[in-house]
Each structure stands twice: as structure tokens, then as C-alpha cells.
Amino acid sequence: MRRYALSLKVWLDFLHAVDVRWDHASRSELAAFKEWRLSARENPQYVSAASFCVDRSAIRGFYLWAAEHQGVENPVRARAIATSWAGGQRVTLESTPSGMRRSDVKWLTPQAFRLWRNLGLRGFTTAGMPHPDWRGSTEDRDTAFVDGLFGTGLRIGEWSSVLTIEVPTPGSEGLTRSRVASACAKGGSGRTFWIRHRVSQQVDFYLHEGSRTAAVARAQAAGRYEQVVDSWIAERVRSDRRLDVVDDEGSRRVVSLDALDPLLRMKMFRRVRGGLEPMWLWLNHDGTPRPKHAWYKTFDRANARVAGALTHEHGAPLWCRPHMLRHSFALRWYCIATFVAWRRTGMLTAQEQRDFRNQLGDVWFLLATLLGHRSAEVTRNVYLEPFQALQVEELVALMDADDRQSLERLVATVGVGEPRVLTGHR
């Protein structure tokens, strides 16, 4: 009952905010409420599809009662859907979130991602040349950030809250390992993640040679860091992911990186030759920590630039949201893992080959690990719908050994005829 009461309060607060009386609410208000609860950028505390269904159940029950006593129309409508030729049917409620069955997501092929990034964040023209009017003061930061999302599969809240000491130094390995802190991960489940060599190089350049250094210098000159209330200064980084810190009152303590949530991380500093420096990796132009919600503006501006460039050239529509890069990561690794598994099973019958996609348990567990899902079944059923109709032969036919371009053709082929996958082509 307490959960239902909270749902009704949120609903009534929403109606008050949009200036609609509770007894005048219609399906239109319910649709707007659904969008606000699930995905609106103006709402920093959006909920899962399952939580919204609890809200909807509470709203429906309230209006069922109100209809009996006040004659009020119920904004939550029920529909009967036929299930058989013999007249069978089931009742379903309108406004069911797509996330209850599958995530409402789209993917970008590697080629489409590079086009979007180059047009939107690097100031390139569709001909692949730098635009003469481009002034990208934070180009290195923005490209490192989106390449990181595309290359790690992290959620935007996880990647945006990384500290400088959590980014591994680029080495000779193709992949380097780091960890998402429990306090920053969805559901409080910290995990290991892997960073591609090129992404490590981009982040390292931004951190030591790029625009971040200048941003820190501007903030130090303006004395911004000394004005931060409740700041912590790290004096020592231990090998077990613990820090020796001193607060602004001089008290010392030992804290775990896993326990530091984004708000605390934004107040973490270390002393360097020029004064204080934030440990928060991603900084605004003025040197202050860049919060998660600010990145949505970066994507909005990039999408506007891409739309303008492609409209001028009569190109196919292309856009990107942060979570699309996470699913693009999953799509790419599915192709790689499927090919590897296929090469390891050379003696399959024709029937086994047709059913192979349902036998790739190790592939799904690999992807669940990379994406941080608790269940491999969630990964299989929700996130990788474009693969459900594919035969393994179709995947392998385009894959030449050690040929990067063949992998990208493979990913592009997955998206042919699938409206969820953006390829950048008509």
C-alpha cells in the first residue's frame, strides 16, 4: 500500500506540474507521464519499466474506485487482444512499457558511429574534411568519451563518474582492465570492464596533453577548487582500491573506491604542482567536474550538427543516444564471440547449424559479463533482437580471418532490413 501511495503522489504531482486536474486526466496525460517517468532527460530519477507498471497499476486502481463514486474516466485503458481463431482473447493494458518485453533500443554499425562522431563532434564535413568554421575546444574530451561508451559498453552514469586513477595507462595489450565502482554501477553491482587500446590512448591524451590540462589551469587560476565545500584530498592510493584521504577539516580516513558515489567523487582532489586537481576524469571547459546530465547536451548538439550536415547532403537520417552505444558494443561483441564459437565447432550437422544461435550459451554469458547483466537470459531476449532470425552461416560468410573490415561488414549485414539498427545508408 505504501508503494501505491507513493505512485499516486508522483502521478498527482505530475498532473499539478502540467496544470491538469486529476479528474480531467486522459490517456494523453498518461502517455506524457510514462515518457517522463521512463526516459525524460528533465527527470534525473527515471525508473525502470517494471516500476512504471506499479505506478500504472496504482493509477488504474484509483480511477476504478473514482469511476464508481464520481463517474471519472479512467486514463488507463484495457484492450482485448485475440489469441486464437476460436475466439480466445486476453486483456492487456495500454501504455505497457516496451521494456517489459524488450528494450526500446537501437544500434549503430561501426561505420555509422564513426560518421556520427566525425560530423557531430569533430567538425568534419560529409566529404571527410575538417570544416573551416569548426572550433572544437573540447573535441578531444568529447570524442574520448563517446569512443569510451562505444568501446567499453558502460552505461553513461558509469563512464561519466570514472576517476583519473581508475583509467589504466595504455600498454601493448589490446585490452586493459579496470573496474566500475559499486556505488556508481546500476543496482550497486560493481564489476570489471575492459578498455580497448585506442580508447586508452585517447583518454590518456585528454588527461595529460589535451584540453583537460588547460581546463584545470583555468580553474586553479580562478581559485575554484579551494571553494569546494566538503572536499576530500587523496594523499595515498593503495593497491587494494582504497585511498588515504583528508577532509577540509583536516580529519584523515581510509575509504574504498567502491564506496564512493558520483557526488563524493566530484569532490575528490589531489595536490599537484599547480595546486589542487580534480580526480574526476571528465571536466567542463572551466575545470569543474562534468556531471552525467551534461553529456546529454553534448549528444543533442552533435545530433543537431549531424542532422544539418546530412539534410544538406540528402543523406539518410542518423542520430545517437548514449545507450545506443552500449548496445552497439553488444552487437559487435556478439559477432566476434559467435565467430569464435563457430570456428571451435567444426563438426555440426545442418540441423545443428540452423539451431546454433540457441546453443551459444557461452557467448551469452560472455556478453552478460561485458554488459554487467545479472542474467544471460536478459541479454539474449532483450538486447540482441536483430540476431534472432539469423543463421550462423550468414554470420560466418562475411568473416575473413583477422580482417577488421569483414567484421564491420558483418555487423552491417546484421542490420539489413532491421529498423532498430542504424547503418547510415538508405
Assess if residue 197 is contained within a domain: yes
Same domain assignment for residues 111 and 96: no
pLDDT interval class at 205 (50, 70, 90) = very high
Assess if residue 283 is contained within a domain: yes
Contact 397, 212 (CB under 8 A): no
pLDDT, residue 416, reads 55
Domain that holds residue 59: 2-100
More confident residue, 107 or 271: 271
pLDDT interval class at 391 (50, 70, 90) = low
Given 290, 305, 336, the domain boundary residue is 290
pLDDT interval class at 389 (50, 70, 90) = very low
> Over the stretch 95-126, which tens digit does the pLDDT of each residue have?
555 444 444 557 788 888 999 999 999 999 98
pLDDT, residue 411, reads 52
Same domain assignment for residues 340 and 411: yes
> Over the stretch 236-260, which tens digit does the pLDDT of each residue have?
999 899 999 999 888 999 999 999 9
Assess if residue 61 is contained within a domain: yes
Domain count, the chain: 3
| pLDDT higher than threshold 50 for residue 399 | no
pLDDT interval class at 211 (50, 70, 90) = very high
Backbone angles phi, psi at 227, to 5 degrees: -90, -5
Same domain assignment for residues 173 and 132: no
pTM: 0.69
pLDDT, residue 84, reads 32
Assess if residue 418 is contained within a domain: yes
Same domain assignment for residues 208 and 193: yes
pLDDT interval class at 407 (50, 70, 90) = low
> Over the stretch 21-80, which tens digit does the pLDDT of each residue have?
988 888 878 888 887 887 665 666 667 777 788 888 888 888 888 887 777 777 776 654
Q: Which of 6-15, 46-55, 139-148, 305-314 has the lowest mean pLDDT?
A: 46-55
Same domain assignment for residues 174 and 249: yes
pLDDT interval class at 220 (50, 70, 90) = very high
More confident residue, 301 or 345: 301
Same domain assignment for residues 113 and 207: no
The stretch 411-417 carries a mean pLDDT of 54
Assess if residue 304 is contained within a domain: no
Assess if residue 41 is contained within a domain: yes
Assess if residue 420 is contained within a domain: yes
pLDDT, residue 342, reads 59
pLDDT, residue 35, reads 78
Given 226, 257, 290, the domain boundary residue is 290
Give the best-scoring range by mean pLDDT among 172-181, 205-214, 411-420. 205-214
pLDDT, residue 111, reads 84
pLDDT, residue 408, reads 54
Rounded to the nearest integer, the mean pLDDT of the chain is: 80
pLDDT, residue 98, reads 46
Same domain assignment for residues 278 and 179: yes
Assess if residue 148 is contained within a domain: no
pLDDT, residue 403, reads 38
